[in-house]
Structure 1
Amino acid sequence: MGFRILALVTVVALAGSGLLYFYGSNMLAQAYASLLILSNLYGMIVLVLLLAHGLIKLPIVLWKHTDNRYNLLNSLSKADQVRRAYRTSLMDYHEQISICKTLESQHATSFNRKFFDVLVSEIPETDLEGQKISVLRSIGDLELKKGRVVGEDMIAEVRYKHKQSFFQ
């Protein structure tokens, strides 16, 4: 708060002195030169103030990051949230893989076999932790009946969802 007030007072003082100087002299060249000087002066003041703020803040940041206790507490406070997000993403990934496997096992025909081959070649058997990914008995959201023909568009959509859940 004090920094902002100081900056505002400085800018107002410089602008006021510049306006007084501008009205006091009637020559256009002098007015142009004085405006150029004032703008450069304002730029230098802002630069110095920003650098001073950075130079004050830098040792504090360095001190905090070298403190192992601070780093440990900061990491532990974020760990639970990261683990929950990881578990949610892993469950979504398992669900997408199961949908892909169920589609392949229940709805493969000679028409869509080549598309399923591409899909199956991209599906892993285990996840990153080494757990086996199981096949669902029903697909749920897709609401497909056994024997219904699954087209290229639907397989592409399932493949896109699989990639999206993997890179989430």
Structure 2
Amino acid sequence: MIDKSNGIPMANKTIDFYINGIYIGSAVADQNGVVKLNYTFKKAGNYQIFTKFNEIETQYGSNATNHTQVVKLPTITEIVVEGNKITVILTDEYGNLLKNKEIIFRENGVVNGTGITNINGQVTIYYKDAYKYKIIAIFIGDEKYYGSSDIT
């Protein structure tokens, strides 16, 4: 934020942020007039970002509108087989572990089970002599992530 009358950054001023008309929080400008607010979109789509500086005694208020498009992130499904244990690790393209995502297990096109990834992005099933079979682990994707799969 810059004071247009003198070109000096406006530090310590509060800016309100809105996404598609819904208030999401506020942030205070640093000594350079820069205002940042971290926000994670829940799903892919087009969003309107609106910022507002409310009028104070010595300065008029102002606002700005911008648009952004959030795209789905690619995922990586990795299978680790140890004896009778099959563990699937689900991450996004940046290596972040994905929790609460459904994984489908198939052998010869037949669903053998499903599981939900834990806080470590993992789900484990037990399958007798798992190393002998071609088992596919599938994450079908959701509003935020593309699907992926891996095979033993």
Please confirm whether the aligned pair reaches a TM-score higher than 0.5, indicating the same fold: no
TM-score by length of structure 2 reads 0.22
Q: Which has the higher contact order (CA 8 A, sep 6+)?
A: 1
Q: In terms of Rg, which structure is larger?
A: 1
More helix by share: 1
Query: In proportion to residue count, which structure has more strand?
Result: 2
Normalised to the residue count of structure 1, the TM-score between the two structures is 0.21
